[in-house]
A = this chain, B = another copy of it.
Amino acid sequence: MTSTTAGDARSTDTQWTDLKAHWQELADLGGIGSLLGWDQSTYLPSGAAAGRARQQSLLSRMVHARATDADYGRLLDAVQGRGDLSPAQTRMVALARKNFEEATRFPAEFVAAWSQHGGESYSAWTTARPDNDFTRMVPYLEKSLDFSRQAAAYFPEFGDPMDYFIDRSDEGMTAAQVGEVFSKLREALVPLADAVIGAAPPRTDFLHRHYPAATQLAFGEAVIRDYGYDFTRGRQDLTHHPFMTRLGGADVRITTRVKENDLGEALYSTLHEAGHALYEQGVSGEFLGTPIGGGVSAGVHESQSRLWENLVGRSRAFWAAYFGKFRDAFPEQLSDVSEDEMHRAVNTVARSLIRTDADELTYNLHVITRYELERELLGGTLAVRDLNDAWHAAYERNLGLRAPNDVNGALQDVHWYFGSIGGAFQGYTLGNVLSAQFYAAAEKANPGLEDDIARADFSRLHGWLRKHVYAPGGLYQPAELVERATGQPMTVEPYLKYLREKYGELYALS
């Protein structure tokens, strides 16, 4: 018996060793894929796109083969049946199982047909959009909706197809929960935005003077170094559409873009992506190379980009810390500008038709509009042919304006045109909600945090976030992470309080 027991122990240890090696390989292949993507968005010569696409497709096939390997599936079965796993191991295996099901449950022909449709739909959108022709996209969207419903049907454990799509990026969250949060938000935000937009707008002329690119970039990098972004484990490069990407556990890169006649562009893009990167750089080393070795959900990820961009980077305390340095960097351009004017200018609120150009306050109304349309489409209460009209009506209701064309209507974002509809947008606004909830908890645990920021000292804030949000990686489900970190489930109250206080003061609302 002794020898059998020893044998069992050896064999279960071997299982775990094999599993970890397989996960590490998947993580390393993922990092290689990220490098291919990073290079494509930063330095790839213009003539090399076709060759790069072939390399990416080859790598995807290699990843898919490993992610769906039958031996790997059996190993997961065997390990899931064991009773001796630690909580962290249990969670790793659960997430691995989720990924495995996602990779294997669709029949190969379904994946191929869906993927081909996605390519055709995207390609059609790239011409329908400049032609301002939504009707041309109707048959594609109808097919996308079919595919999306079929996909969800492979996961019958989710009652509502929308729940399936939300769960893919915001694990454990349901359409009912998101809908409740978004209703509360809209109820509060529509009148708040009205009041702010009705007040006297701040001065913004100086944002559009000439600001040399190199100085702008150096300033942004100095700020995120203060935030705690570790340049020995990351770097910043230029791109068209800024993003954060993880090439490895110790290689978390960000990108930005710079406009010499727009002071906010590079700075706030850098602060946003640095927020994502601080999260990834902060994941506990022991989890790297496992299914829990990264950020846990779209919503929690976005909470960190928005926290560092908005709650910190657009605060009065931030400009108390940095305005002097900023004016030292741009003495002529800012000679007639005060700290208070700078703080007001970067918090301008305006009605707009374009989500990506929207300010902190109205941005959520763009997201909620899209989320509700998605949900109606998937639920069958809105027909694709009526989508563009429904879009315009919702914009009038939520944002008080109407796009004069399809381009700024239902053709606006690429998200719906990759062949799948559902779950693409809610993470942006969940992130805003959570950013304030996390920040409020950090402030409660660290009295005087605002004074720290006014001295450009982010050590207590970063330290608290690292411990309560970053280090756990994917160890807890998002809802559990939020409750552990803040003492309560996700709630809109801190966010609404933050917005009301901030904009109430900035715009002298009664």
Contacts and interface: CB of A to CB of B under 8 A. Distances in A.
Interface string A388-432: 000000000000000000000000000000000000000000000
Contact of A249 (B24, B29, B51, B253): B51
Contacts of A237: 43
A228 B32 CA distance: 32
Contacts of A59: 32
Nearest to A29: B58
A146 interface: no
B32 A232 contact: no
**A contact patch SS:** helix
Contacts of A230: 47
**Copy number of this protein in the oligomer?**
2
Interface string A45-62: 111101110110011001
A28 B232 CA distance: 30
A50 B235 contact: no
Interface in A35-76: 35-36, 39, 43-48, 50-52, 54-55, 58-59, 62
Nearest to A48: B251
A233 interface: yes
A51 B234 CA distance: 13
B32 A39 contact: no
A37 to B, nearest CB: 11
Contacts of A235: 43, 45
A235 B52 CA distance: 15
A66 to B, nearest CB: 10
B35 A250 contact: no
A423 to B, nearest CB: 31
Interface residues of A, number: 36
Nearest to A58: B28
A248 interface: yes
A255 to B, nearest CB: 12
A31 interface: yes
A210 B251 CA distance: 35
Given A35-B36, A35-B39, A36-B35, A52 B248 contact: yes
Contacts of A28: 51, 54-55, 58
B29 A250 contact: no
Contacts of A158: none
Nearest to A57: B28
A25 interface: yes
Interface in A1-53: 24-25, 28-29, 31-32, 35-36, 39, 43-48, 50-52
B58 A250 contact: no
A104 B235 CA distance: 40
Nearest to A43: B235
A213 B39 CA distance: 24
Contacts of A43: 235, 237
Nearest to A232: B47
A39 B233 CA distance: 14
A247 interface: yes
Contact of A45 (B47, B52, B251): B251
Nearest to A42: B43
A110 interface: no
A47 B252 CA distance: 10
Contact of A25 (B35, B51, B58): B58
A32 B48 CA distance: 13
A248 B36 contact: no
Contacts of A55: 28, 31-32, 35, 248
Interface in A240-269: 247-251, 253
A251 B62 contact: no
Contact of A32 (B24, B36, B47, B251): B36
Interface of A: 24-25, 28-29, 31-32, 35-36, 39, 43-48, 50-52, 54-55, 58-59, 62, 230-235, 237, 247-251, 253
Given A31-B51, A32-B55, A55-B248, 11 more contacts: A29-B58, A31-B55, A32-B58, A45-B234, A47-B230, A47-B232, A48-B251, A50-B250, A51-B248, A51-B251, A52-B248
13 contacts: A24-B54, A25-B58, A28-B54, A28-B55, A29-B58, A32-B55, A35-B35, A43-B235, A43-B237, A48-B233, A48-B250, A51-B250, A52-B248
- Ranked nearest first, the 10 interchain pairs of A and B with the lowest CB-CB distance are A51-B248, A48-B251, A47-B232, A47-B233, A47-B250, A48-B250, A46-B232, A28-B55, A28-B58, A45-B233
